[in-house]
Amino acid sequence: MRKPPQPEASPPLRIERIRLDGLFGHYHHDIPLMLADRVTLLHGPNGVGKTLTLSRIAALLEGDYEALCDVPFERLELAYVGGERLAVEQVPWPEGEDGEPWLDEDGDAVFYLRLMTPMGKALYCPQRWRSRAWQQTGVLSHEGITEQRGYTLSRQHLIAGWPSELSTPLYNGAVQEPVELTQLRARTPVHFVPASRLYLSTKAEIEAVYGYRTPDEPLVPRVLLVARELVEAVNDADSDYAARSLALDATLSRRIFSSPLPEPQPAEALANAAADVQRRQQRLRQLGLFDKLEPLEVDPIDFSDERRAMFSVVVDDWRQKLAAFDALAERLELLLEVLNRKLHPKRVTLDREAGYRAWDHTGAALDLEHLSSGEQHELVLLHTLLFDTPAGSLVLIDEPELSLHVRWQSDFLPDLLRITAMVRFDAVLATHSPYIVGDRDDLMVALRHPVP
């Protein structure tokens, strides 16, 4: 699970327009983002580059210049609210002595990247060096892991997942990103959710589920990882609660008996505050987050001013302690509401040891990997958006309709709008589904084939 970003001096930057020119030499896409609703829907026929557009944007914002070298395009530009811009161009490698362009081992033209930012810096991506390095690895084919392992991964997945095992000049200092560019990218967190989202693809993800053991199957369901991430989130909230409790309880006597007490609240207001604490305790208990119910069923109507002042300190302490669960509870509550509405008569609950626990219509436990592909897609997407996405991010979702019944597709956008309003990120979706769009054609941006 991604950790929330640390407070920083510079606030996140929002992108208001994206332009990709010359994709495969033919396609030119201009994409205004629908910032008011925080959701933009890309649609268009097969082959216009919807997925590639999303992955190019992600590669630029992640600093994955290896990926930006794989598909030919002329220029990608991101325009930010406030006027800042970030652009990258592919520039052909200078011709050789014979006047012919440089070609790599596959016979493809070699190019480098030129980044245009407000700082005016240039960055090079030496594709020729990269190709040679891949040939020298021995255990790898040009495209990824050889068939003797039973499956193939892209070079980008291999580099991201096994950085210590693989060594290319790109990741050993041949490319040095300007500091100003690193700082600019840090202000626009990006999260690309690919269509192939049901299985883990990197060593780090697999180890998060299995430790250093090798899984029995080459394809590990991502639902196992999101369940493990939820356990970590609950443990983090527990630790925060324990730290708050320790600090507050250690000073409670001093604050009541040695420090000036706060002004006593009216009895009715104090009773309402105590009832609110109990409601919050009960809500957390129903979610499975909290089992330490402490009754505050005390009627302060006959309390003296001094006792009401003391009781208000106790109630305020409880508020501060329970606040450790606020963000987690709010997001978990929305996730379970949306998910269980769709999975009925199955259901999913929180299990503090296992993370997510699934149950069939009879009440029998059901392994997460035995959920249908559509049910797994729904759980993975909801968890990713609610728990793995920092505020201020740009989220890029490819084909959210995959494996979803048309009724679930119709519900997807309203649910997403609730999530973006809660977490406060911007989302760009690439979809073929009219059910995803529904009646919100005002959020649509068309990507088209070039006119002959």
Q: Is the pLDDT of residue 221 over 50?
A: yes
The number of domains in the chain is 2
Clarify whether residues 171 and 236 are in a common domain.
no
The residue among 207, 222, 246 that closes a domain is 207
Partners of 193 in the β-ladder: 397
CA 279 to chain centre: 31
Residue 196 lies in a domain: yes
Residue 448 three-state SS: coil
Half-sphere exposure of 48 (CA within 13 A, CB side): 20
Q: What CA–CA distance (Å, rounded) separates 375 from 385?
A: 16
Same domain, 212 and 349: yes
Percent of the chain with pLDDT over 90: 54
Domain assignment of residue 275, yes or no: yes
Cβ-based neighbour number of residue 28 at 10 Å: 15
Residue 329 to residue 336: CA distance in whole angstroms = 10
Largest Cα span, the chain: 98
One domain for residues 228 and 200: no
CB contact at 8 A, 171 and 163: yes
CB 229 within 8 A of CB 387: yes
Q: What pLDDT is recorded for position 215?
A: 54
Q: Residues near 85 by Cβ (< 8 Å), separated by ≥ 6?
A: 77, 78, 79, 116, 117, 118
Among candidate residues 356, 372, 388, the one where a domain is terminated: 372
**Of 314, 339, 372, which residue is a domain's last?**
372
Asked if residue 407 belongs to a domain, the reply is no
In the sheet with 444-446, reading across from the earlier edge strand, the strands are 190-193, 394-398, 426-430, 39-43, 444-446
- Rounded to the nearest 5 percent, the helix, strand and coil shares of the chain are 45, 15, 40
Structure confidence at residue 389 (pLDDT): 96
Does 73 fall in a domain?
Answer: yes
Same domain? 166 vs 217: no
User: Residue 404: inside a domain, yes or no?
Assistant: no
CB 151, CB 145: distance < 8 Å = yes
| Residues 6+ positions from 59 with CB-CB distance below 8 Å | 65, 67, 68
Domain presence at residue 399: no
The reply to whether 167 and 182 lie within a common domain is yes
The reply to whether 169 falls in a domain is yes
**141 and 238 in a common domain:** no
111: pLDDT confidence band, cut at 50, 70 and 90? low
Residue 143 pLDDT greater than 50, yes or no: no
Q: Which amino acid is at 444?
A: M
Give pLDDT, residue 101: 54
Per-residue pLDDT reduced to its tens digit, 230-256: 999 999 999 999 999 999 999 999 988
SS3 131: helix
Pair 82, 141 in one domain: yes
Q: Are residues 185 and 262 in the same domain?
A: no
Its domain, for residue 316, covers: 208-372
- Rounded Cα–Cα distance for residues 178 and 399 (Å): 34
What's the mean pLDDT when you consider all of the chain? 82
Same domain, 143 and 52: yes
Token representation of residue 31: 């994409």
Q: Which residue has the higher pLDDT, 259 or 372?
A: 372
Position 381 in a domain = no
180 and 135 in a common domain = yes
User: pLDDT tier at 340 (50, 70, 90 boundaries)?
Assistant: very high
Tens of pLDDT, residue by residue over 63-80, are: 888 788 788 899 999 999
- Whether 357 shows a pLDDT value over 80: the answer reads yes
**Same domain, residue pair 317 and 300:** yes
Query: CA-CA distance, 68 to 78, in Å (whole number)?
Result: 15
pLDDT tens per residue across span 175-215: 566 777 788 888 999 999 999 998 886 666 776 776 655 55
Residue 126 has pLDDT above 60, yes or no: no
Q: Out of 50-54, 83-87, 142-146, 150-154, give the one with best mean pLDDT.
A: 50-54
Query: Are residues 53 and 82 located together in one domain of the fold?
Result: yes
